[in-house]
Amino acid sequence: MLSERLAQKRLEKKLTHQNMADKLGITRQAYGNYESGKRDLDTETLSKIADILETTTDYLLGRTEDPSPKNTTSEEAEIDELLKNEVHGAFFKDYLSAPEQKKAEMRQFLKFILEQQKDRKPGQRQGE
């Protein structure tokens, strides 16, 4: 299961064995051995790989079918709730059916908008 999921997520991200090896600071062959199951992953390397592939160690290990990391901040959870709401999410009408990469881009955009709103005073219009 681990080998299959490593390959699947790597290919989704359009990364090569060499790309992964470079990001991990190991040889291409060492990474290839992880992906083929010829070599066991230590927890630190597994965690780094999950971060690179923007997934969770639980997903890679087959403990969950959800490949998306859970939001760690209340702000990100609030963004997710807004996006799922039919009224508020109208701006992002395709969010729920979008691929994970597109969802991440949409969340980042909404986060940017919310950051801009924090600095505005009551009644102040955008650009003032």
The reported pLDDT for the residue numbered 35 is: 93
Identify the CATH number of the domain in which residue 40 sits: 1.10.260.40
CA atoms within 13 A on the CB side of 73: 5
- Same domain flag for 78 and 108: yes
**How many structural domains comprise the chain?**
2
Residue 10 belongs to a domain: yes
Grade residue 73 by pLDDT with cuts at 50, 70 and 90: low
Residue 42 belongs to a domain: yes
Grade residue 108 by pLDDT with cuts at 50, 70 and 90: confident
- Boundaries of domain holding 106: 74-119
Residue 83 belongs to a domain: yes
Question: Measured between alpha carbons, how far is residue 20 from residues 13, 67, 103, 125, 126 in Å?
Answer: 10, 18, 23, 45, 42
Q: Which residues of 12-51 are buried (b: 16+ CB within 10 A; e: fewer)?
A: eeebebeebbeeeeeeeebbebbbeeeeebeeebbebbbe
State the residue for tokens 């699947």.
8
* Token representation of residue 120: 């505005």
- Same domain flag for 52 and 6: yes
Residue 127 belongs to a domain: no
Residue 128 belongs to a domain: no
Residue 68 belongs to a domain: no
- Same domain flag for 50 and 90: no
